[in-house]
Structure 1
Amino acid sequence: MLEVRVADITTLEVDAIVNAANRSLLGGGGVDGAIHRAAGPQLLEECRRLGGCETGDAKATGGHALRADHVIHTVGPVWHGGDRDEPEALASCYRRSLEVARELGCRSIAFPAISTGVYGYPSGEAARVAVETVATHGSGIDVIFCCFSEGSAEHHRAALRELGWRERGSAFDPPG
C-alpha cells in the first residue's frame, strides 16, 4: 500500500520513519531537527556512534521517544540544477532506506519529501523520483509519503496517478 498524507512525521505510528538528515547525522533544521527534538537526546547519542552518512546512503537508529520503532537516516542531494546526478542520489536515498527497513523487519515506513527543504530540490521533480523508486522497490512494505504541505502532497499524488496508481482516499492501489 502507498499513501500520501500531510502530517507531522514524528507523530506517525509506523515501524520506521525516515529522517532527511545531513551528513553528520547530528541534527539540523527542518524534518531533521523536528525528529531529533521529538525523539529526545538518546537519538543524538546513538547518531554520534554511527560516524555520519554519505549522500544517497541510509543508516538506522532506534526511535527512542517517537512512536516509530526505528529512524532511518538518509542524506539527500543538494540541488545544483540536476546535472550533478541529483536524481540518482535521491533515488538511492529511497532505495537504501527501503533496504535498511527490510533488514530491520519493518512492515511500514514513512518518508518525508527528502531534499526539498534547504537542499533546494524542486518538489515536483523530487516527488516523481520518490514515487517511481518506491513503486519499483517498495514491494511488501506499506509506505506513507508524509508531506509537510498540501502542495507537496499533490505533487506525490500526481506522480502516482501518472504511473497508473488508483486513488482511494489517501491511499493508492497499484496499476492493473
Structure 2
Amino acid sequence: MAFIFRKKKKAEIAGPDETHDRILRQMVNACLRLQTRWARWMGKRTEHLSRKTLLLLLLVFIFIAGGYSSYLIGQSFQGNQANTFSVTPIKKPGHILQTGDAASQQEMIISKADYQRIILFRGYMDSIARSPTGKALYDSILLTRPGLPDSIRLIEKIYQSQTKK
C-alpha cells in the first residue's frame, strides 16, 4: 500500500553537459547522414564500372596522393622558405569583453552642432508631414527610410542623457 502514496520524482532539467552531449550527438548524426548520402551518390556513379576499372582508378588516386605527399615532404627538407606554410596569429579585438551597451556608449558622443542639425531636420520632417503638398514627400521618405523617426528620437535621448551627466 505504501507504493501508492509515494511521491513521483520530477524529471530533472537538462544540465549544460546533457545539452552539450545532445548537440554533439546531433552533429555526429548529421555527419553520418552526409556520409551515407555521399556513399549512395558515389555508388550510383560507379555501379557501371568493372572491378578492374575501379582498381585502376584506386591505384591512380593512391599514386597521385602519395606523389604529392612525397613532394611536400621533400620540399620541407630543402629549406626553401618561399613555399612553406606560414602561421599568422589571430588578433583578439579590444572590445571582446565589453557588452554591446558599453561599447556603443563610448562611441556615441553627439556634439551640440550635430544635435542642432537633428532638431532642424526633425522640424523639417514635421513641417512637410503637416502640409498637404509635402505629405507625399514625407511618405516617400518614410518608405525608403522606415526607421528614421525612431533613430532621430534615439539620438535626441542620447544627447539629453549626455547633457545630464
| TM superposition score normalised by structure 1 | 0.17
Greater strand share, structure number:
1
| TM superposition score normalised by structure 2 | 0.18
Greater helix share, structure number:
2
Structure index of larger Rg: 2
* Higher RCO (Cα < 8 Å, 6 or more apart): 1
